[in-house]
């Protein structure tokens, strides 16, 4: 049986093998269970690190919700009423700030990030910080490790930054996303330079430093600007859930959290916003390296591209194997 603990071992082994900040994106449609996976997975990574003799937490879970545009910002935009009605769509987030954050993980030992206040319904600037002792990040999820061999070519003089093939097609409010071609675009990883420690503006981290995981709806979205950092993700985890099940969860959540007062209103919000966001993601999805299906009890791994990490031979399979939460 493959469990969350086994996935945690894969991530921690990869972080130790690559010896740089490891970035893992966890995505899925609204109501799919992204947080249900991301936060326990982060805890499992930290627990495993301590069982191996490490001290402190090496993983931190970061939600993409922190990159929502504030209500004040939306109010000052054209068609603000429509934007509020579709709040949660990719164009109601500050995608440029999010991608800048991902790139900073390769250039800074400490990286602040925004969080989201559900009480205020607004982001909290500098609500958290990725510390040098945290080397795995979880966001619609992101995992980062020590930057001793940074992947960002701008740090170490490689041929260019991580790139993603294909045009990022922005979807205008009220317009449905068009289906993508069947072939996957060429996501390019930058070759890892031999030494880059002198570019890190802090004391050199130890091998047990710096991991992060990011969880969010748009982490695996193959639209600009989100896809500009897709090549930086070391793992891309998709939580695969039937849209009918996700829809029922979203309707129940809107009622439970007081977002809507009636079932009719909650259903309308789900259909006119959340399910549109789901369709945009499914039609514009960065190919995942790991697919988790809690309902079927399975996890599938794509062929690994980390040939230099001998510890990963056991994971190089495209066959589905059971998973337990």
In 30-181, the DSSP E strands lie at 59-63, 111-117, 122-130, 135-139, 163-164
Which token pair is 33?
């269970």
Q: Does residue 316 register a pLDDT over 50? A: no
CB 266 within 8 A of CB 322: no
pTM of this prediction? 0.74
Residues 212-250 pLDDT 10s? 788 899 999 999 999 999 998 989 999 999 999 999 999
Q: Encode burial over 43-80: b for 16+ CB neighbours within 10 A, e otherwise.
A: bbbbebbeeeebeebbbbbbbbbbbbbbbeebeeeeee
Q: Tell me, what's the pLDDT at 204?
A: 31
Mean pLDDT of the region 29-46: 93
Reduced to 3 states, what is the DSSP secondary structure of residue 106?
A: coil
Q: Does residue 208 register a pLDDT over 50? A: no
Q: Rounded to whole angstroms, how far apart are CA atoms 265 and 254?
A: 9
Residues 151-164 pLDDT 10s? 222 222 222 222 22
User: Where is pLDDT greater, at 201 or 42?
Assistant: 42
Q: What are the structural domains, with CATH classification, of the chain?
A: 2-324 (3.40.50.300)
Q: Does residue 295 register a pLDDT over 60? A: yes
Q: Rounded to whole angstroms, how far apart are CA atoms 270 and 2?
A: 33
Determine phi and psi for 198, rounding to 5 degrees: -70, -10
| Ranges 12-16, 134-138, 271-275: which has the least confidence | 134-138
């Amino acid at each position: 049986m493959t469990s969350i603990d086994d996935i945690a071992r894969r991530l921690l082994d990869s972080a130790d093998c690559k010896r740089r900040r490891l970035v893992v994106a966890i995505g899925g449609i609204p109501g799919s269970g992204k947080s249900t996976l991301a936060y326990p997975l982060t805890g499992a990574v930290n627990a495993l690190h301590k069982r191996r003799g490490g001290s402190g937490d090496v993983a931190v879970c970061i939600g993409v919700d922190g990159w929502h545009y504030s209500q004040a910002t939306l109010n000052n935009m054209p068609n603000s009423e429509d934007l509020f009605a579709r709040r949660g769509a990719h164009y109601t987030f500050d995608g440029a700030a999010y991608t800048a954050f991902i790139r900073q993980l390769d250039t800074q030992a400490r990286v602040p990030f925004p969080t989201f206040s559900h009480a205020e319904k607004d982001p909290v600037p500098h609500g958290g910080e990725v510390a040098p002792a945290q080397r795995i990040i979880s966001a619609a999820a992101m995992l980062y490790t020590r930057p001793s061999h940074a992947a960002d070519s701008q740090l170490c003089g490689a041929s260019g930054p991580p790139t993603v093939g294909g045009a990022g097609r922005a979807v205008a409010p009220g317009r449905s996303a068009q289906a993508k071609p069947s072939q996957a675009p060429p996501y390019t990883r930058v070759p890892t330079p031999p030494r880059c420690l002198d570019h890190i503006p802090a004391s050199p981290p130890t091998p047990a430093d710096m991991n992060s995981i990011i969880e969010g709806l748009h982490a695996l979205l193959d639209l600009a600007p989100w896809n500009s950092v897709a090549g930086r993700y070391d793992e891309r985890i998709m939580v695969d859930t039937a849209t009918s099940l996700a829809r029922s969860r979203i309707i129940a959540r809107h009622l439970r959290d007081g977002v809507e007062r009636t079932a009719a209103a909650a259903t309308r919000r789900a259909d006119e916003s959340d399910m549109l966001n789901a369709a945009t993601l499914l039609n514009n999805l960065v190919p995942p390296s790991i697919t988790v299906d809690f309902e079927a009890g399975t996890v599938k791994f794509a062929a690994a591209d980390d040939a230099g990490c001998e510890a990963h031979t056991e994971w190089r399979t495209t066959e589905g194997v059971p998973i337990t939460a």
